[in-house]
Amino acid sequence: MSFSDIFSGDGAARKILNLLIQGAVVGAVAFVSWSLFLNTQANLEARNIASGFGFMSVEGGLPINDTLLPYLPSDTYGYAFLLGVLNTLYVAFLGIIFATIIGIIVGCARVSSNWLVSRLATIYVEILRNVPLLLTLFFTYAVVLASLPHPRKSLNPLPGIFINNRGIYLPSPNPHNGFWFVLIACLLAFFLVYLVYRSSKKKRKLTGKGLPTGRIAFGLIILLPSLAFYLSPSVIDFEFAVFKGFNFKGGVVLRPEFSALMTGLVLYTAAFIAENVRSGIQSVKKGQAEAANALGLKSTLIMRKVILPQALRVSIPATTNDYTSLVKNSSLAVAIGYPDMVSVGGTIIGQNDQAIEIIGLWMAVYLTINLIISLIMNWANGKVQVVEN
Amino acid sequence: MVTSNTQSDALIFRPLPAQTPPLSLTGPLGWLRENLFNGWFNSLLSIGCLVLLTIIIPPLLSWTIFDATWAGNADSCRESSGACWTFIGHKFQVFLVGTYPSSEVWRPALAGGLLVLLSLGTVCRVFSKFILISMWLVFPFIMYLLVNGGLGLPIVDQSRWGGLMLSVGLALVGILISVPMGVILALGRRSKIVTIKSLCIGIIEPIRGVPLITILFMASVMMPLFLPENMQINNMLRVQVGIILFSSAYMAEVVRGGLQAIPQGQIDAAKAVGLNYWQMNVFVILPQALRHVLPSLVGRCIALFKDTSLVIIVGLLDFLGMAKASTQDSNWLGFDAEAYIFCAAVYWVICFSMSQYGRSIEKRGPSEH
Q: Could you tell me which chain A residue has the CA closest to the CA of B202? A: A29
Confidence of residue B303 (pLDDT cuts 50, 70, 90): very high
Q: How far apart are CA A312 and CA A310, in angstroms?
A: 5
Query: How far apart are the CA of A223 and the nearest CA of chain B, in angstroms?
Result: 30
Neighboring chain B residues of A21 at a CB cutoff of 8 Å: 193, 195-196
CB contact under 8 A, B348 and A131: yes
Burial of B238 (0-12, 13-18, 19+ CB in 10 A): buried
pLDDT of residue A315: 87
* Domain locations in chain B as residue ranges: 20-66, 85-100+156-364
- The minimum CA-CA distance between B13 and chain A, rounded to whole Å, is 38
A247-249 vs A252-254, strand pairing mode: unpaired
Mean pLDDT to the nearest integer, B21-25: 74
Note the pLDDT of residue B6. 57
At B1, is the pLDDT very low, low, confident or very high (cuts 50, 70, 90)? very low
pLDDT 10s digits, A89-117: 999 999 999 999 999 999 988 988 888 88
Integer Cα distance of A262 and A268 in angstroms: 10
Cα–Cα distances in Å, from A73 out to A57, A62, A63, A80, A338?
13, 6, 6, 9, 17
> Do B276 and A366 make contact, defined as CB atoms within 8 angstroms?
no
- DSSP H helices in chain B: 2-11, 27-35, 40-61, 74-79, 85-97, 106-124, 129-148, 163-189, 194-209, 212-217, 223-226, 235-260, 264-272, 277-279, 286-307, 319-327, 336-364
Which residue of B46, B218, B276 is in closest CB contact with A5?
B276
Average pLDDT, chain B: 85
The closest of B95, B104, B89, B233 to B156, measured between CA atoms, is B104
Residue of A39, A131, A142 lying closest to B347 (CB–CB): A131
Asked if residues B190 and B184 have their Cβ atoms less than 8 Å apart, the reply is no
What number is the average pLDDT over the span A21-44?
A: 84
Asked if the Cβ–Cβ distance from A134 to B302 is below 8 Å, we say no
* Lowest-confidence region among A136-145, A259-268, B35-44, B91-100: B35-44
Interface probe for B, chosen from A115, A261, A275, A330 (most Cβ of B below 10 Å), is A115
Question: In the structure, what pLDDT confidence band is assigned to residue A389 with cuts at 50, 70 and 90?
Answer: very low
C-alpha closest to that of A66 among A266, A346, A255, A347: A255
Digit-coded pLDDT (tens) for B189-209:
888 888 888 889 989 988 988
- Is the model more confident about B352 or about A222? B352
Average pLDDT over residues A119-126: 93
- Cα separation of the two ends of chain B: 76
Binding-face residues of A in 211-240 toward B, CB within 8 A? none
Q: Which of the four pLDDT bands, split at 50, 70 and 90, describes residue B9?
A: low
List the domain boundaries for chain A.
Answer: 3-47, 77-171+240-384
ipTM above 0.90, yes or no: no
pTM of the model: 0.85
pLDDT over 90 at B121, yes or no = no
Instruction: Pick the range with the lowest mean pLDDT from A60-69, B160-169, B210-219, B240-249.
Output: A60-69
**Phi, psi for A238 (deg, rounded to 5):** -115, 140
Question: How far is Cα of residue B51 from the mean position of the Cα atoms in its chain?
Answer: 34
Least Cα distance to A310 among A293, A327, A289, A325 occurs for A289
Would you say residue B94 has pLDDT above 90?
no
Residue A262's pLDDT band (cuts 50, 70, 90): very high
Please report, for residues B119, B122, B141, B143, B155, the alpha-carbon distance to residue B149 in angstroms, rounded to integers and kept in the order given. Answer: 23, 27, 11, 10, 4
* Arithmetic mean of pLDDT, A123-152: 87
Contact residues, A window 102-121, toward B, CB-based 8 Å cutoff: 112-117, 120
Mutation pick from A37, A116, A299, A332 vs chain B, by most beta carbons of B within 10 Å, is A116
Q: Residues B310-320: what's their mean pLDDT?
A: 89
CA distance A333 to chain B (A): 10
Nearest to B194 among A22, A36, A355 (CB): A22
Residues in chain A within 8 Å Cβ distance of B352: 126, 130
* Cβ atoms within 10 Å, residue B358: 19
- What's domain A77-171+240-384's superfamily in CATH? MetI-like (1.10.3720.10)
Residue A5, pLDDT score: 52
- CA distances for B304 relative to A330, B60, B155, B261, B301, angstroms: 17, 31, 28, 24, 5
- Read off the pLDDT of each residue in B7-30 and give the average, rounded to a whole number: 77
**Going along chain A, which residue ranges are E strands?**
162-164, 167-170, 172-175, 236-239, 242-244, 247-249, 252-254
pLDDT recorded at residue A80: 87
β-sheet bridge partners, residue A168: A163, A254
pLDDT of residue A224: 82
**Measured distance between the N- and C-terminal CA atoms of chain A, rounded to whole angstroms:** 47
Helix (H, G, I), strand (E, B) or coil at B161: coil
Positive or negative torsion for Cα B23, B24, B26, B30 = positive
CA distance B113 to B105: 12
In whole numbers, what is the pLDDT of chain A averaged over residues? Answer: 83
What per-residue confidence (pLDDT) applies to A303? 83
Query: How far is residue A128's CA from residue B37's CA, in Å, rounded to a whole number?
Result: 28
Interface contact flag, B229 A42, Cβ < 8 Å: yes
Do the Cβ atoms of A255 and A66 come closer than 8 Å? yes
pLDDT at position B220: 85
A26 touches chain B (CB under 8 A): yes
Task: Assess whether pLDDT exceeds 70 at residue B127.
Answer: yes
CA angle, residues A13, A18, A23, in degrees to nearest 5: 140
Binning pLDDT at 50, 70 and 90, where does residue B134 land? confident
**Residue B7 pLDDT level (bands cut at 50, 70, 90):** low
Given a cut of 90, whether residue B185 has pLDDT beyond it is yes
How far is residue B327's CA from residue B6's CA, in Å, rounded to a whole number? 92
What mean pLDDT is predicted for residues B217-234? 79
**Measured CA angle at B246 (ends A338, A326), to 5 deg:** 40
pLDDT in tens, A61-71: 777 777 777 77
Q: Residue B340 is nearest to which of A25, A138, A370, comparing CB atoms?
A: A138
Whether CATH 1.10.287.70 fits B85-100+156-364: no
Minimum mean pLDDT range among A15-19, A314-318, A367-371, B184-188: A15-19
**Residues of B whose CB is below 8 A from A131:** 306, 344, 347-348, 351
pLDDT at B344: 93
Task: Give the per-residue pLDDT at B109.
Answer: 87
